[in-house]
Every structure is written in structure tokens, then in C-alpha cells.
Structure 1
Amino acid sequence: MQLIITDAWLAKSRAFHLSGTKLVAALLGLSLVLMLVSLGMYHWVFLKGAREGWPIIGSLVKLVVKDEFAQRDRFMRENIEVMAKKLGEMQAKMLQLESLGERVSGLAGINPADIKIKPGQGGALVSGRDLSMEELQATLNDLDELAGQRADLMTVMESRLFEQKIKKMMVPTQLPVQGGNLGSVFGWRIDPITGKSALHTGLDFPADTGTAIFSAAGGVVVTQEFHPQYGNMIEIDHGNDLISRYAHTSRVFVKKGDLIKRGQKIAEVGTTGRSTGPHLHFEVLVQGVPQDPQKFLNAGRNLPSAPQVAKVTPAVTSAPVPQMAASAGQPAAQR
């Protein structure tokens, strides 16, 4: 395409040659300019009409705004309803947790009132469409407070149960010799060496020399020495004035001051000291006074069967000394 432009007197003229590509580009550019001008005019007229309250434009603006607010309100209500349902589920689970906590607190010996735990709170939520955002927030705050209280209670119960477990592990209730028969029991008997009546202050477990001896409970070794009557002797302090004693051992694997775990191998059976044969003499002392170890072992889980406990083998035993009197803090005078 060729365009010729002349002035009013036809004195001058100028020719322009437009190819197909240039013509298309020119038309596109012109269309873009017209669209921008139209958009600007529409925007100016629409804003001016909305501000000045022109009847048609004002009605159109109100319709658009009303629809937008309706969509927002519907979206908010739907979200509140979903949140309310989730909150209801959380409340139900919290009530279950509260009930469980009350049962466990009884096992732990804890009264929730002693640690300022409020009584149970909860209940069914109203429908999400009837629940305002303020009510939802208030319910969430109450639930958060209740969850914090339950967490405090669980922490206290965990501490108390852990304390009880530790105390249980510190009581000598485990057999010191596994699989062995019980020889002489606690109480008065005829001393196998002197033939006179004497108090036997522990339990004898006959076993072959070298049989493993295990700690009946956790504690600290307070004595590891050779005693004229007990032979190689170990004493373990379990706290609360409770001590277990292991005598006549052949080999010892611990020393004074060692921290001992429940069931740890501490020595091997022997016949050192005042003894008629290889066996372990086991004692339990409370405030230095010998107690019947069988009462502690009966409270344990790893006891031998009743016939084994009742079986007495007096042929191999510790030899007691006549007229023994137990005194606090000192070994008994007979085995």
C-alpha cells in the first residue's frame, strides 16, 4: 500500500509505502491505543458516577458490593462451621483425656485438687452457624487453659510414677542366685558347727562355686571386704536405711562406692569365711536390724516355685555362733 500526503496548495507531497507487515502492526497499535483510551474513560466515568451517586452507576456499585460481602460472609460462616466441628472433636477428646487422667492420678496417688486443677469442663458445642467468632474464640481460650491444666497434671503424674518406679527398683526383691534351691531360712536353728541354737539372720542359697550372684536391687556399694565370718562380703545401700548383704563369695566384681543396677552381677558363689560348703548367704537389714529376706523376695516377680522355696538343704549352710544379738550397723556374729 502506498500513501501520498500533499499540502493544501498541492505544492508539496510525500509518499509512504506500507508493506503488509507494517500495515498489520499499525492497525494493532491503533487498536491498543483505542482500548487504553476507552478503558481510561470507562474508569473515570465509573468512579465519578460512584462518587457523585449517579442513579444507574450507583445501583450497579451497590449490587457488586453487596454480592462481594455476601460471598465473604458465606465463606466466613463455612469456615466457622468447620472450625466449630473440629473444636467439638477436640473437646470430646479432652474429656476422654480428663477421665483417663483421673484414673491414672489415682494409681499415682495424686489428688488433682492438691495441684490446683480445676474440675472437668466441656460440653457439646452449638451449631457452627449459630456460633459467633467471639464465642468461638472464647471456647478456644477455655480449651487452651484446660489443656494446659491437663499437661500440668500429666507432668506431676509422670514424676510421681517415675519416683515410684525408682523406689521399687531400690527394694531388694530379685533373687540373688537364679535357679538355686533355698537352704537354711531366716530364724532360729541348730548351728551346724556348734550344735547349739542360734539365730540365722538371712537366707542360704547352696550353689556350685563360681555361680553368678546378682544384686537384688539397685544401690551403692558401701562395704566390700573380707570378714572373718562372712568371708568375702558385699553390702549394698538401697536408701531409706535399707541394706542387702552378700557373703561367702569366691570372687567379687565391684568395689566400695560403685553404683549398682538391679540384677547386675556383683560376685560369684564361694565358701569363704565361716561356712560348711559353697553357698550364698543373703541378708536384708533395715536400720541395721536383720529382716527376713523372704518377705522381700516374695514381693518380687522372679521368685522360684513354692516347692523350691520350701525345700531346705541343711547339709550345706552357714555356721552360726550361739547367743547372737543383732546390733545396728554391725554384721551378725553367725552365718
Structure 2
Amino acid sequence: MHLIITDAWLARSHAVHLSGTKLVLAGLGLSLALMMVAAGLYHWVFLKGAREGWPVIGTLVKLVVKDEFEQRDRFMRENLDVMAKKLGEMQAKMVQLEALGERVSGLAGVVPSEIKRVPGRGGALVSGRPLSMEELQATLADLEQLTDQRVDLMTVVESRLFDQKVRKMMVPTQKPVSLGQLGSSFGWRIDPFTGRSALHTGLDFQAEPGTSILAAAGGVVATQEFHPAYGNMVEIDHGNDLITRYAHASKVWVKKGDLIKRGQKIAEVGTTGRSTGPHLHFEVLVQGVPQDPQKFLAAGENLPAPQMARAMAPAPAAPGQR
């Protein structure tokens, strides 16, 4: 394409040659410039019309804004409905948990009414109308308070159950010799050395020498010594002025101050001290007064099978030998 440009008096002329590529680039540049100018004018006119409330533009702006608000409100409503449903499910589960807590607290001897309660609305979140954000927040606050209350109750129940378990583990209800036969019982009998009537303050378990002697309950070794009458003797303090005594042992596996678990091996059957043959002399003393050990052992035998298995699970033997 050739263009000849002349001045007004035709004195001078200038020829311009435009190829196809240059024409395309020129067209694109001109189109881009026109688009930018149009966009700038549209933006300016639209903003000015929106600010000054021009009839047509103002109505168009209101329609656009209204549509955006409706879409946003619909999105929020859908999310609020989902949140309300989930919250209702959580509240229903909290009601079930509360009922379970009431039953467990009864087993632990805890009265839930004694624990500070926080007023809440409770119940499942059921409503026939859409819920607002404020209502959801209020329900969440109530649920949080109820959760804190349940945590407090369960903490007290756990503490009480743990205390009960420890107390049971500290009561001598386990037989101290698993492979022994009961000989002399608690009470008055003819003394084998003097031939006179004397009070036998414990139970005798006849067993082979070397048979393991097990702690009847958990506690702390209060005494480990050789006694003229009891021979090699071990006394375990279980707290609450309750002590068990194990006498005539051939070997002792613990020392004073050791922490003892229920069923732990503490000694071996022997015939040391004032004894006529290999056996274990087992005593239970409350505030220093001998009690019939058979009453304690019978209480252990009357426990339900699962509880008995847990209470009498043997502990590993103490390492080393004294």
C-alpha cells in the first residue's frame, strides 16, 4: 500500500509504503487505544452516575449490588444451616455423655449436684426457623459451658475411682502363698513347744522350702529383720495403720523402705525362728492388734472374677537377692 502526502501548495510530497504486517500492527494499536479510551470513559461515566444517582446507572448499580448481597446472604444461610445441624448433633451427643456421666459418677460415689453447675440451655438444637449468627454463638457458648462442667465432673470421678482402686490394692486380700496348704488358723490352740493353750495370731501355710512368698497387698516394707520367734521376717505397711507380717522365711528378697506391689515376690518359705517345719506364718495387724487374716483373704475371694483378676495380677519379682 502506497500513500503520497503533499502539503497545501503541492510544493512537496512524501511517499509512504505500508506493507501488510505494518497495516495489521497499526490496526491492532488503534483498536487497543480505542478500547482503553472507551473503558476509561465508561468507568468515569459509571462512577459519576453511581455517585450522583443518575436514573439509569443508579438503577443498574442497585441491581448489581442487590444480586451480590443476595448471593452472599444465600451462601451465609447455607453455611449457618450446616453449622446449626452439626451443633445440634454435638448437643445430642453431650446429652448422652451427661447421662453416662451420671451413671459413672454414681459408681464412683460422686453426687453430680455437689459440683458447681453452669446454667445452660441444653438439648438438641432444633428450630423451625432459620437461626441467626447471634443464636448460634449463644448456643455455642452454652455448649462450651456444659463441656467444661462435664470435664470437671469426669475429673472428680476419675480421681475418686483411682482412689478406690488404690485403696483396694492396699488391702491384703491376696493369698501370700499360691502353692501352700492352710495349716494352723487364727485363734487359740495348743502351743507345739510348750503344750499349753496360746493365741495363734496368724495363719500358717504349709509349703515346700523355697516356695515364693507374695505380698498380699501393695505397700512399703516397714521391717526386715531376723526375729528370735519369727525368724527371717518382713513387715509391710499398707497405710491406715494396716500391716502384714511374713515370718520364718528362708530367704528375703526385699529390704526396709522398698515399695512393694501386690503379688510381688518378697521372700521364700523356710523354717527359721520358732518353727517346727517349713511354712509361712502370715499375720494382719490393725493398729498393732492381730486380726484374723482369713477375713481379708475371704473378701478377696468374693470379688467378681474380672475385678479379682485385675486386683491379683502378680507383679514382677524384685531384682537381686538380700
**Which TM-score tier does this pair reach, normalised by the shorter chain?**
0.7 to 0.9
Give the conservation status (yes or no) of the 8 Å contact 1:81–1:128. Answer: no
Cα distance in 2, alignment partners of residues 212 and 15 from structure 1: 124
* CA gap 1:41/1:226 in 2 versus in 1, 3 angstroms: same
Matches within 5 A, 1:283-322: 283-300=283-300
Q: Work out whether 1:124 is the aligned partner of 2:132.
A: no
> Larger deviation: 178-187 or 271-280?
178-187
Give the conservation status (yes or no) of the 8 Å contact 1:283–1:291. Answer: yes
* CA gap 1:163/1:82 in 2 versus in 1, 3 angstroms: same
Give the structure 1 partner of residue 192 of structure 2.
192
Give the structure 2 partner of residue 311 of structure 1.
none
Cα distance in 1, alignment partners of residues 225 and 261 from structure 2: 20
3-state SS, counterpart of residue 209 of structure 2: coil
Give the structure 2 partner of residue 88 of structure 1.
88
Give the structure 1 partner of residue 317 of structure 2.
none
* CA gap 1:176/1:19 in 2 versus in 1, 3 angstroms: farther
Give the structure 2 partner of residue 274 of structure 1.
274
Displacement of 1:214 in angstroms is 1.1
Displacement of 1:146 in angstroms is 0.9
Displacement of 1:64 in angstroms is 1.1
Give the conservation status (yes or no) of the 8 Å contact 1:98–1:120. Answer: no
Displacement of 1:301 in angstroms is 5.1
* CA gap 1:57/1:118 in 2 versus in 1, 3 angstroms: closer
Gaps of 5+ in 1: 304-335
Cα distance in 1, alignment partners of residues 184 and 14 from structure 2: 136
Give the structure 1 partner of residue 316 of structure 2.
none
Tell me: higher relative CO, structure 1 or 2? Use CA pairs within 8 A at least 6 residues apart.
1
3-state SS, counterpart of residue 284 of structure 1: strand
Give the structure 2 partner of residue 214 of structure 1.
214
Give the conservation status (yes or no) of the 8 Å contact 1:209–1:269. Answer: yes
Cα distance in 2, alignment partners of residues 15 and 179 from structure 1: 127
Write the letter of the residue equivalent to 2:73.
Answer: D
Give the structure 2 partner of residue 114 of structure 1.
114
Displacement of 1:192 in angstroms is 2.4
Cα distance in 1, alignment partners of residues 24 and 179 from structure 2: 105
* CA gap 1:288/1:11 in 2 versus in 1, 3 angstroms: farther
Displacement of 1:302 in angstroms is 9.6
Displacement of 1:4 in angstroms is 4.3
Displacement of 1:262 in angstroms is 1.4
Give the structure 1 partner of residue 318 of structure 2.
none
Cα distance in 1, alignment partners of residues 37 and 129 from structure 2: 48
Give the structure 2 partner of residue 103 of structure 1.
103
Superposition RMSD in Å: 2.0
Give the conservation status (yes or no) of the 8 Å contact 2:221–2:234. Answer: yes
Cα distance in 1, alignment partners of residues 242 and 23 from structure 2: 109
Gaps of 5+ in 2: 304-322
Note the alpha carbon deviations across 1:243-268, whole angstroms, 9 max, x for none: 01110000011111111111111111
What TM-score results when the alignment is normalised by the length of structure 1? 0.85
**Identity of counterpart residues, as a percentage?**
81
Write the letter of the residue equivalent to 1:171.
Answer: V
